[in-house]
Copies of this chain bind each other. A is one copy, B any other.
């Protein structure tokens, strides 16, 4: 910080970059009051210098991203997305002693550990609130307000596209393909929706959330990932019959002994009275269970230029304030040695819907299969007769490994015609004063 001002370099001049640049200029007085010194934009790195960029002063545009990144600005804001050249440029900025604000989910999910090390070595800040759940103030509370508490579980609806699709399937009763096409027409899903519906976007965010919640290093490769492409309207109807809605959840939980963490993304039946069930359309929410704080949920818009710009601005204000007060790097996490558990060691309750032969003893035989694999049954409902006989089983929490073995054994039974549905279940939190 020199001349009593905080210098800011922007890498990327797209939608979010233009918003951020505009707010820095338009709200200059307000931001200066909050930070304790004025912000000065020193440059905006873009690929195409010819393109018209309303809101960004033309003389600040540069195509020399590496030069700007290494220029030693107080804060470098990275809004490029993707791994390269973002990874290299953020590295240059940190090594030049700049604090970095990034909205880059992919980068932080894959190289968060490496970049945190670099930030720590250089004694600067590295913030990325916008990388998960858009404008929801989430990462700072996780690291800050809940400091001194122990988080046991994080459950998130972190992908707007899949939540939009599942909400429409639930409320309109439509099937997956129809709803996906509708979401694409409305702009809620991409032409190639794989990253969203396959759960990969949620998995990247799960890795970041788990890293912060458990002060450990989780990268995307550690996340067990199942998308929503197999969710049928029959699953949605069955969930509704039982008082549940289906949500794609990013989950991270600590094992009972506190030595391991399981991180996964999969469709989940969530009890209708659980606060996450009320998160509709493209909204996001993250539900945190902590020892002392109890249950806490953060809800808001997950995507969009304005919310993302708002989150970037929040980080920029904090990083700039730290330059003014000299309290850089104070938020760097301490790291715990927590093992990443394989999916078989995750513990969860299940719903299983079986199409069975209506013959004497079928329930006893099926119950025996669950018992043989050490899975405890919480409840059974038998519907229909003859050709239409259905058996719906709700289990208590069990190891995933035990549950997979149970499902494999059920599939081999002559009396089981088909496993119509099998899904993990989250119940309503208990009543706490």
In the complex, residue of chain B having the shortest beta-carbon distance to the beta carbon of A142: B137
Complex-state Cα separation, A273 to B317, whole angstroms: 34
Q: Which of A279-333 contact B (CB under 8 A)?
A: 279-283, 285, 290-301, 303-304, 306-307, 309-311, 313-314, 316-318, 321-322, 324-327, 330
Cβ of A277 under 8 Å from chain B: yes
Contacts of A27 in B (CB 8 A): 148
Q: Are B293 and A144 in contact (CB under 8 A)?
A: no
Q: Are A279 and B290 in contact (CB under 8 A)?
A: no
Cβ of A191 under 8 Å from chain B: no
Contacts of A285 in B (CB 8 A): 297
Contacts of A296 in B (CB 8 A): 135-137, 298-301
Q: Are B148 and A31 in contact (CB under 8 A)?
A: yes
Per-residue B-contact encoding for A109-152, CB less than 8 Å = 1, 0 else = 00000000000000000000100001111001100111111000
Q: Are B294 and A304 in contact (CB under 8 A)?
A: yes
Q: Which of A258-292 contact B (CB under 8 A)?
A: 273, 275, 277-283, 285, 290-292
Q: Are B297 and A298 in contact (CB under 8 A)?
A: yes
Contacts of A144 in B (CB 8 A): 137, 140, 314, 317-318
Q: List 18 A-B contacts (CB under 8 A).
A: A137-B141, A137-B296, A140-B140, A140-B141, A144-B314, A148-B313, A148-B316, A275-B283, A281-B432, A282-B432, A290-B310, A293-B301, A295-B299, A296-B298, A297-B299, A304-B433, A324-B330, A326-B327
Cβ of A431 under 8 Å from chain B: yes
Cβ of A36 under 8 Å from chain B: yes
Contacts of A53 in B (CB 8 A): none
Cβ of A187 under 8 Å from chain B: yes
Copies in the complex: 2
Q: How many residues of A contact B (CB 8 A)?
A: 69
Cβ of A2 under 8 Å from chain B: no
Complex-state Cα separation, A281 to B273, whole angstroms: 11
Contacts of A313 in B (CB 8 A): 147-149, 292
Complex-state Cα separation, A301 to B277, whole angstroms: 18
Contacts of A277 in B (CB 8 A): 278
Complex-state Cα separation, A131 to B187, whole angstroms: 42
Taking the closest CB of chain B, its distance from the CB of A363, in whole angstroms, is: 33
Contacts of A352 in B (CB 8 A): none
Complex-state Cα separation, A309 to B291, whole angstroms: 11
Cβ of A23 under 8 Å from chain B: yes
Complex-state Cα separation, A282 to B325, whole angstroms: 40
Cβ of A33 under 8 Å from chain B: yes
Q: Are B294 and A149 in contact (CB under 8 A)?
A: no
